[in-house]
Structure 1
Amino acid sequence: MILSRSERMIAKRYLLPGKGERFIFVVASISLVAVMLGVMALVVVMSVMNGFRADLFDKIVGLNGHAVVQGYGGRLPDWEEILEQTRETPGVVSATPLIEQPLMASYDGRVEGVLVRGMQIEDIRANETINSNIVAGDMSRLQPGSNSVAIGSRLATTLGAVPGGEIALISPQGRSTPFGTVPRIVSYTVAAIFEIGIYDFDKAFVLMPMGDAQMLLMLDDDVGMIEIDTTDPENVGEILAPIEAAVAGRAELTDWRRMNSQLFDALAVERVVMFWVLSLIILVAVFNILSSLIMLVRAKRRDIAIMRTMGMTRRGIMRIFLTIGMTTSALGTIAGLILGFVLLRFRQQVVGFVQTVTGAELWDPSIRFITELPARTDPFEVLGIVALALGSAFIFTLYPAFKAAGTDPVEVLRYE
C-alpha cells in the first residue's frame, strides 16, 4: 500500500490528537496496548509450551530412548540375539540392554521407594543426559563390582545421602526360609549424584553397573529390556516394525508415544486451547481499533469532504484510514514482540520475583515434571502471531475506511 506525500502527511496528522479529539486518542492508545499485551502473551505462552514439550521429550528420551523391548515378567533371556537384530535394523542408531526394577532404599534410617537401573558401564559413560548433569561426586568411581551407585538429586535430598555414604537397597527377592522369604539387603557406596531436571527421575533413580544389578536382583545373565534410539522419533513405529514382529510372543515393543501418550496428548490439547484463548485478547484489541477509527471518521467528516472537493480520490481516503489502523496494530505488535522476548529472556527471574512477592510456589517440580521453566521460540509461530495481529487489524479497519471513502461532500458541506 503506497501512499502519496499528502496522504502520508494527513495520516500522520490524524494519528496525533487534535483539539477535542483526546478521547479518540485515548481509545487508540488502549487499542495499541491491548495488541501489545495480546502479542506478548501469545509469544511467551507458546514459547513456554514449546520449550516444555521439547525439554520433556529430550530428557525422557535421553533416559528411556525412542522405544523399548520389554521382556515378559521383567526378564529377557535371549536378549543378545534381539540386541544384535535390533542394531542391524535400518534406522536404528543405538540399542542398549537395561535392567529396571522398583525397590526400596534406606539411608541413615530413612526409607524411600526407588527405581534401580542397571546399565553396561560403556553405555553409562556414553549417556550425555546423565554425565552432563552431575552435581556431586565422580561418575568415574562407578565401576563394575565396586558396589557403587549414582542417585538422583531429589532422592539424595530426601534421604540425606552424600557422595561416599552407604545406601542400602532392599529387594523382596531374597532367600527362602521356613518362615517365608527374607528380603535381600545390599549396601552400596554413593559415587555420584545427578540432576536430570525431571522431578520423577531425580526423585527415584538409582543407577548401577549391569553386573551389580543382575546380582542384586538374581537375574543371572538376563536383562529386563532393550532401549532403542532411532534416526526419526516421529516415525519410530515404521522403523521398528520388523523388530516388533520378530519379538512377538517373547517380548513387547513400546515406543515413546505409547509410554507417555497421556502426557504429550494433554500438552498438545493445552497448546491449541491456550493459543485460541489468548488470541481473544488480540480480537478485543482490534475491536478497539475499529471503534476508535469509527469515532475518528465521524470527527473528520468535514475534513474528508473538503479533501474530496479538492480532488482526493476515494482510494486515497481509504489508504489514509487503513494506514492509521495498521500503524496502530503494527506498533502494538512490535512492542508486544519486544516485551515478550524480554520476559522470555528473564523468565526465571520473573517467576522467582512473583514467588517472593506472593509467597506461592508457581513452578512446583512435583507437578510440572521439569525443575525450571523452559522456553523455545518457534520463528514460524512468531510469524503466525504477527500475521494474526496485522491480518485481523486489516480486516477490521476496512469498514471505517470504506465508510470514510463513501462520505458525500455535498451532504456534509451543504450548510457550511
Structure 2
Amino acid sequence: MIAGRYLRARRKDAFISVIAALTMAGVAIGVATLIVVMSVMNGFRDELLTKILGLNGHFSAYPIEEKFTDYKPTVELIEGVPGVRHAVAYVEGQALVSSQSNASTGATVRGMEFSDIQKLGLLSQSAQQGGWDQWDQSQGVAIGYRLAERLGVGIGDPITIVNPNGATTPFGTTPQIRSFPVNVIFNVGMVEFDSFYVYMPMHLAQDYFKMYDDVLKPGVEPPDPMATDEEIDAAYERQYRASAIEIFIDNPDDINTMRERLQNTPGIRPMILSDWQQRNETFFSALQVERVVMFTILSMIVLVAAFNIISSLVMLVKDKGADIAVLRTMGATRGSIMRIFSITGTAIGVIGTLIGFVAGVLIASNAEALRAGISELIGVRLFPPEVFFLSSLPSKIDPFEVTVVVGLALLLSFLATLYPALRAAQYDPVEALRYE
C-alpha cells in the first residue's frame, strides 16, 4: 500500500513521479527495441537460409570408394530417414558459356531431373520466361535472368557451352563444344544462382560431361579387338552416375543429429557429408557475431533505464526521509522499509517491461506493414528488393529470445532497487527527525 502511494503522483511529489514515468518509458523502449531488432535479425537469417539453402541442400553427399551409379536407390533410402525432407541427385561441372553476340562468362552447369526440380520450390516456381514442361525430354537449358542479360539471349536463343574436359585424342584433350536452346529463364533472387548457374536435363548433362561407364554385361565375353562397333556396343552396357546428392532436412540447425542418422542408417552406402554450416562458415559466423553484438549493445538501453531506476529511487528516499523516520518510530523494521522501496522500484521495471513487451511484439509482428507505411509517408523505399533481394522486411519472433529479454529487464530492474532500498533501511530516525 505504501509503495503504491509513493508511485502515485501528488502535487508536491509531481517531479519525482515524472522521473518515475520517464524511467518506466526508458525500460519500455529498451525492451521493445531489443525484441524488434532481434526479431528482424532472425527474419533476415531465415530469409538468407531460405535463399542460400533453397537450391543447395543442408548436406551435400559425395561418394566414397565407388561412384554414384546407384544414386536413385540411395536417394530413396535417404528420403526414408526420419528428419529428411527430400534428397536430390545431380550432375555438375564447370564450363564456359557464350552466345551469338560474342558475350561469354564462366558458369556452373547442373543437370537435374524434373521430379527433383519440383522438390526445389524456389527453383520450380521462379521461371520468369518459358516453363519446365517436358523438361526431361527436352534438349534445352535453363539460365538465370542476370546471366541471360549478360549474354543477351532470350527464350529459344542458343547458347554455346564449352567443357574443357572433352574427348582424349593422340594430340591431347580437346574441349567439348555444344549448343543448347534456352527453354527457361528463372529468377530466384540470389546473385550467385541468377548469374552463374545453368540447368539442363539429367540425361543431357550425363552425356555432355561423360558421367557414365561402359561396363561389360554379365555373362558376356570381352569382344575381340577386331570386333565392329556394333559388336562392342552389344557387349557393353552404359551405367550413368551422379556427381553428388543434395539432402534437405526439416531442421537446418539439427546438423549433428542428422549426420549421425545418415551415417548409421542400415543400407545407406558410405558417403562424405558436407553440411551447410561448413560451406558457409565465414558468412554465418559473422552473422552470429553480429547478433550477439547487437544484443549486447541494445541491452545497454535497458541497463541505462535500470540506472534511472536507481536515481529515481535515491531521490524518492531522500524526499521521504521523514516518512521513513516516522515509520521506524512506529515499529517498522529495516526489512519492511527495504521491501517498500524494493517494491516501488520493481513495479516501475515490471510495468515498463510489460509495456515494452507488448509494443515490441506488435511492432515485430507488423514490421512489413510499418515499413511500407513509413516508405509511403517519407517517399523513400526502405529495403529496396533490387539491393537487398528481399521483397519484404522479414521478421520472426523467437519466444526464447523474447523470454530472455523480458527476464533480463526484470532482473536488472530488481537489482537496481537494492542499493536505494538498503540506504532507506539504514536511515537513523533521530537524525531524520532532528530538523523537522
- State the TM bucket, normalised to the shorter chain: 0.7 to 0.9
Q: Which residue of 2 aligns with 1:374?
A: 394
| Deviation, structure 1 residue 392 | 0.9
Q: Secondary structure at the match of 1:70?
A: strand
Indicate the residue corresponding to 1:282 in structure 2. Answer: 302
Which is higher, the Rg of structure 1 or of structure 2? 2
For the 8 Å contact 1:141–1:191, the answer to whether it is kept is no
- Counterpart-to-counterpart distance in 1, 2:19 and 2:246: 60
**1-side partners of 2:146 and 2:317: how far apart?**
63
Residue 191 (structure 1) aligned to one of 181, 184, 187: 184
What does residue 218 of structure 1 align with?
Answer: 210
Q: Normalising by structure 2, what TM-score? A: 0.76
1:346 equivalent to 2:341? Answer: no
Task: Please identify, of 393-402 and 259-268, the stretch whose mean Cα deviation from structure 2 is larger.
Answer: 259-268
Asked if 1:119 corresponds to 2:140, the answer is: no
1:55 to 47, 56, 64: 47
1:248-397 superposed matches below 5 A: 252-309=272-329, 314-344=334-364, 345-347=366-368, 350=371, 373-397=393-417
Decide whether the 8 Å contact of 1:65 with 1:229 is kept in 2.
yes
Q: Distance in 2 between matches of 1:198 and 1:245?
A: 36
Separation in structure 1 between the aligned mates of residue 314 and residue 399 of structure 2, nearest angstrom: 34
- Verify the 8 A CA contact 2:371 2:382 in the aligned structure 1: no
Question: In terms of mean alpha carbon deviation, does 94-103 or 379-388 score higher?
Answer: 94-103
**Further displaced range: 343-352 or 213-222:** 343-352
Please, which moves more after superposition, 94-103 or 56-65?
56-65
Measured at CA, do residues 337 and 7 of structure 1 come closer, stay the same or move farther in structure 2, by a change above 3 Å?
A: closer
Aligned residues: CA RMSD: 4.0
Closer, same or farther in 2 for the Cα pair 1:201/1:140, shift >3 Å?
closer
Choose the corresponding residue for 2:261, options 239, 256, 269: 239
Three-state SS of the structure 1 residue aligned to 2:138 is: coil
Q: Say if 1:299 and 1:189 are closer, same or farther in 2 by CA, change over 3 A.
A: same
Does the 8 Å CA contact 1:44/1:341 hold for their aligned counterparts? yes
Mapped to 2, the partners of 1:283 and 1:371 lie a distance apart of 35
Aligned residue identity for 1:11? Y
Gaps of at least 5 residues in structure 2 are 213-239
Bigger shift: 347-356 or 287-296?
347-356
| Structure 1 length-normalised TM | 0.79
- State the 1:150 CA deviation: 3.1
Q: Does 1:66 align with 2:86?
A: no
CA distance 1:391–1:36, change in 2 (3 Å): same
CA contact (8 A) 1:176 1:182 kept: no
* 8 Å contact kept, 2:3–2:343: no
CA positional deviation for 1:17: 6.4
Instruction: Look up the SS of the partner of 1:150 in the other structure.
Output: strand
Structure 1 counterpart SS, 2:32? helix
Distance in 2, matches of 1:163 and 1:393, equals 64
Structure-1 separation of matches of 2:57 and 2:343: 53
Name the structure 2 match of 1:44: 36
Q: Tell me if the contact between 1:135 and 1:193 (Cα under 8 Å) persists in the aligned partners.
A: yes
Instruction: Please say if 1:202 is aligned against 2:194.
Output: yes
Query: 1:282 Cα deviation (Å)?
Result: 1.4
Q: Percent identity?
A: 37
For residue 62 of structure 2, give the secondary structure of its aligned residue in structure 1: strand
AA aligned opposite 1:260: N
Closer, same or farther in 2 for the Cα pair 1:190/1:138, shift >3 Å? closer
Distance 1:20 1:256, change over 3 A: closer
> Which residue of 2 is the match for residue 130 of structure 1?
123
Q: Alpha-carbon deviation of 1:287?
A: 1.0
Q: Give the match's secondary structure for 1:96.
A: strand
Question: Is the contact between residue 134 and residue 194 of structure 1 (CA under 8 Å) also seen in structure 2?
Answer: yes
Structure 1 counterpart of 2:220: none
**What's the secondary structure of 1:32's corresponding residue?**
helix
Deviating more after overlay: 340-349 vs 287-296: 340-349
1:343–1:309 distance in 2 versus 1, CA, 3 Å: same
Contact 2:114 2:132 in 1 (8 A): no
Distance 2:421 2:112 in 1: 70
- Conserved? CA contact 2:91–2:112, under 8 Å: yes
| Structure 1 match to 2:247 | 228
Amino acid at match of 1:101: G
Does the CA-based 8 Å contact 2:27-2:305 persist in structure 1? yes
Matched AA of 1:404: A
Shift of 1:334: 3.0
Report if aligned partners of 1:199, 1:370 keep a CA contact under 8 Å in 2.
Answer: no
User: How many residues are paired up?
Assistant: 403
Aligned match of 1:12: 7
Deviation per CA, 1:106-138: give whole Å up to 9, x if none. 45634343322211221122332323x425235
The runs of 5 or more residues in structure 1 that have no matched partner are none
The aligned counterpart of 2:139 is: 147
Note closer, same or farther for the CA distance 1:361–1:103 as it changes in structure 2 (3 Å cut).
Answer: farther
Deviation at 1:404, TM superposition (A): 2.0
In 1, the alpha carbon distance for the partners of 2:419 and 2:154 equals: 70
Tell me how far apart the structure 2 counterparts of residues 183 and 355 of structure 1 sit (CA, whole Å): 54
1:363·1:373 contact (CA, 8 Å) conserved in 2?
no
> CA separation in 1, counterparts of 2:380 and 2:80?
55
**Does structure 2 conserve the Cα–Cα contact (< 8 Å) formed by 1:64 and 1:227?**
yes
Q: 2:418 aligns with which of 392, 398, 401?
A: 398
Q: Distance in 2 between matches of 1:244 and 1:111?
A: 47
- Normalized per residue, the structure richer in helix is 1
